[in-house]
Amino acid sequence: MNIILLSPGYPADIPEFVRGLAECGARVIGVGDQAQANLPELSRRALSRYVQVPSLWDREAVIATLQTELRGLDVAGVECLWEPGVMLAAQLRQQFGLPGLTVEQAHRFRDKEAMKLALDQAGIRTPHHVAATTTAACFEAAERIGFPLILKPIAGAGSADTYRVDSREQLRAALAMMRHVPAVSVEEFVEGDEFTFDAICVNGQVAYHNVAWYRPRPLIARSNEWISPQVIALRDVERDDLAGGIAMGRQVLDALGFQRGFTHMEWYRKADGEVVFGEIGARPPGAHQVDQMKFACDFDVFRAWGQAVATGSSDLTFHRRYNVATVYKRARGVGRISRIEGAASLEQRFGEHVVWNTLLPTGSPRRDWRQTLVSDGFIMLRHPELTETLTMADAVASELHLYAD
């Protein structure tokens, strides 16, 4: 079958999804606005065809180009694994009469207020929330909900342009930094640990799921440059303290009508055990968290997604063998990476457990840590025991240092 995949070269792990889909028998037609020669090699090899459009964000031009380029071709579906393109994929399905997430459903995944309203109606605990498009409305919502609050874009992705505010003064300051955001969600700040519920669905059923633990919460990590954020994919997802979040994740998928593909949900567990929904995207997590799943179970998650999409069936066989920790590092200073300290001793202690090291080499320009969780590279390691995994992750976080000048 022919399946359109929007943006087959970005983000960084998308080429693996192209490969996984192609290996399941699909003829993958890539659609993007970069030249084919600039696509990653893995994507170029796995694609059956590539259609370059002037801009992925010009819907009418994309539709017109595809009507011309794919005339007479039987297309079975449209997929997109990148948050900004989820709505475009739904619009293309509508235009060409293809199955999958509808425009209305995609809107609920992209619009955080519509998302939470739908879940409120389903009886799922969400943070108290109000949508606002003016400064006055934000202050009115703050009075209604009470401090502390979270401000986030209605159509945002991840924790970009997201702020905790504890007073009217902080609210005023945060709104000044969000002038470019047309609509915001003013939400109750939920105190607790933050986890994910990541799922591959087939015909509305969860065929595979993953739970990851953020250490610390992304909002804290994005607010403090010195922190080395950690994401821990948990081996034991049957723990009693995770059961409420997993059950809620399944309820969310049912309420939003998700049938096939990858989703990434975030949720909170409060000190008293209450679980609260955070948000969900109709796409996989970023920052190589899908690779975490691969190393946790030693199976091809990208191909598992491809099978779900291409065949509408699943014969997944996997075993949860490891906890997998990814520790993202941020260099100190500005300019180019000049030295790395602590790597040799950590390699000697934990080298057998390291499955991936992407630290920037010396001489590389330092990345903007505010723009990418990956920052200046990461160390990914695994161990069957959670306590050992956390010990290693904390050592990498505290003893490995990159410097730039």
* Eight-state DSSP code of residue 351: G
Q: Are strands 323-328 and 230-233 parallel, antiparallel or unpaired?
A: antiparallel
Q: What is the reported pTM?
A: 0.93
| pLDDT tens track for 353-405 | 999 999 999 999 999 998 899 999 999 999 999 999 999 999 999 999 999 99
Residue with tokens 């009886």: 123
Look at residue 81 in the predicted model and tell me its pLDDT. 97
Query: 239-289, pLDDT tens digit by residue?
Result: 999 999 999 999 999 999 999 999 999 999 999 999 999 999 999 999 999
Whole-number percent of the chain with pLDDT over 70: 99
Q: Kindly give, in sequence order, each residue whose CB lies less than 8 Å from that of residue 186, ignoring residues fewer than 6 positions away.
A: 129, 130, 131, 132, 138, 141, 142, 145, 149, 150, 151
Query: What H or E segment, with its residue span, contains residue 92?
Result: helix 86-96
Q: Is the peptide bond before 216 cis (omega within 30 degrees of 0)?
A: yes
Q: Can you give the pLDDT at residue 158?
A: 60
Q: How confident is the model at residue 232 (pLDDT cuts 50, 70, 90)?
A: very high
377: left (phi over 0), alpha (psi -120 to 50) or beta: left
The fraction of the chain above a pLDDT of 90, given in percent, is 93
Coil, helix or strand at residue 258: coil
pLDDT in tens, 59-118: 999 999 999 999 999 999 999 999 999 999 999 999 999 999 999 999 999 998 899 999
Q: Cα dist. 282→105, 135, 174 in Å?
A: 10, 30, 28
Which residues fall within 8 angstroms of residue 292, CB to CB, at 6 or more apart? Answer: 210, 212, 231, 233, 324, 326, 380
Structure confidence by residue, pLDDT tens digits, 102-158:
999 999 999 988 999 999 999 999 999 999 999 999 999 999 999 999 998 987 666
What ranges in 266-334 are assigned the alpha helix state H?
289-297, 301-311
Decide if 277 contacts 125 (C-beta within 8 A).
yes
Structure token pair of residue 113: 């207020």
End-to-end C-alpha distance for the chain, whole angstroms? 52
Which H or E element spans position 157?
none
Q: Does 316 score more than 80 pLDDT?
A: no
For residues 104 and 317, give the distance between their C-alpha atoms in angstroms, rounded to a whole number: 34
What is the mean predicted confidence (pLDDT) over 28-37? 97
